[in-house]
């Protein structure tokens, strides 16, 4: 990241897509608010950070330790993200009701199954445990039938799915379906994945929101979060969801889906 920040300081164009991959996940989700862009060519942009304090912090992070061990020797291992991630997965090669564990790191992925072309990433543990119902919901959203024969089901809660070893692994899927909460956090997580993984991402929404309207019961923590969610949904092209946010002034948690399927 240091080379991109240095180029930005000097007013030189950079590969913005590559730069985004170096940013912390929370900044990726709101990068449009943080940086001003001037396109120079197809892959090159002149980038200006709108907040000098943020720029200074990014420059500090760019000098972060190269490993958890080095960070620990400096007194704080959390200054470096772990290079290994463990992800729970339901797939069609399971021999009992327990999900499998995928061990992922930068060098290799250790999994006991052959991935399908489609992955369903579920944010909530209860919904993940009821994966047949979630596959039915996803099928309704897409207008097709889904099962473990065609789709792996992955637990992605707690922003685990945004960690680099996980996104690198997800890049091997042709299509990634996102079953996240219908709130600002869910939209941010989806947008962060979309930045990294592109058009293969799909945010699941029912073709008809009517049966779910009464499920919008979660009050946003602040009015600003509601407005941010409305704006973000509109920007993403989710007009129906943006309208529901605006009309109900509420969010919907994905557990509501289990009542309908």
pLDDT digits (tens, 9 = 90+) for 1-10: 888 999 998 8
**Both tokens of residue 172?**
């091997």
User: What's residue 79's pLDDT?
Assistant: 42
Question: 44-63: per-residue pLDDT in tens?
Answer: 999 999 988 888 888 888 87
Does pTM top 0.75 for this prediction?
no
75 is a domain residue: no
181 is a domain residue: yes
Number of domains in the chain: 2
72 is a domain residue: no
Asked if residue 73 has pLDDT above 60, the reply is no
State percent of the chain over pLDDT 70. Answer: 92
Asked if residue 261 has pLDDT above 80, the reply is no
State percent of the chain over pLDDT 90. Answer: 65
Domain residue limits at 31:
2-64
Show the 3-state SS of 219-235.
Answer: CCCCHHHHHHHHHHHHH
45-49 vs 35-39, strand pairing mode: antiparallel
Domain shared by 31 and 117, yes or no: no
Asked if residue 210 has pLDDT above 80, the reply is yes
Give the DSSP per-residue string, 31-44. Answer: HHHHEEEEE-SSS-
Q: 105 φ, ψ to 5°?
A: -150, 180
């Amino acid at each position: 990241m240091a080379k991109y920040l240095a180029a930005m300081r000097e007013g030189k164009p950079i590969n913005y897509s590559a730069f985004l991959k170096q940013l912390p996940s929370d900044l990726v989700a709101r990068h449009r608010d943080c940086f001003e862009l001037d396109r120079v060519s197809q892959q090159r942009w002149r980038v200006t950070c709108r907040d000098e304090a943020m720029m200074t912090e990014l420059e500090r992070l760019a000098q972060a330790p190269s490993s958890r061990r080095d960070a620990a020797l400096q007194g704080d291992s959390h200054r470096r993200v772990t290079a290994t991630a463990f992800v729970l997965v339901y797939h069609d090669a399971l021999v009992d009701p327990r999900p499998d564990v995928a061990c992922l790191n930068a060098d290799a992925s250790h999994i006991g199954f052959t991935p399908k072309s489609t992955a369903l990433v579920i944010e909530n543990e209860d919904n993940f445990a009821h994966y047949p119902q979630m596959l039915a919901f996803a099928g309704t959203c897409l207008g097709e039938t889904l099962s473990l024969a065609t789709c792996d089901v992955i637990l992605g809660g707690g922003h685990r799915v945004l960690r680099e070893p996980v996104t690198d692994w997800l890049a091997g899927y042709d299509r990634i379906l996102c079953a996240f909460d219908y709130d600002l956090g869910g939209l941010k997580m989806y947008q962060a994945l979309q930045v990294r993984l592109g058009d293969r991402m799909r945010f699941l929404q029912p073709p008809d929101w009517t049966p779910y309207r009464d499920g919008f019961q979660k009050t946003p923590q602040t009015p600003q979060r509601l407005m941010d969610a409305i704006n973000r949904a509109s920007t993403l092209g989710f007009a129906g969801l943006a309208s529901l946010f605006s009309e109900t002034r509420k969010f919907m948690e994905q557990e509501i889906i289990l009542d309908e399927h």
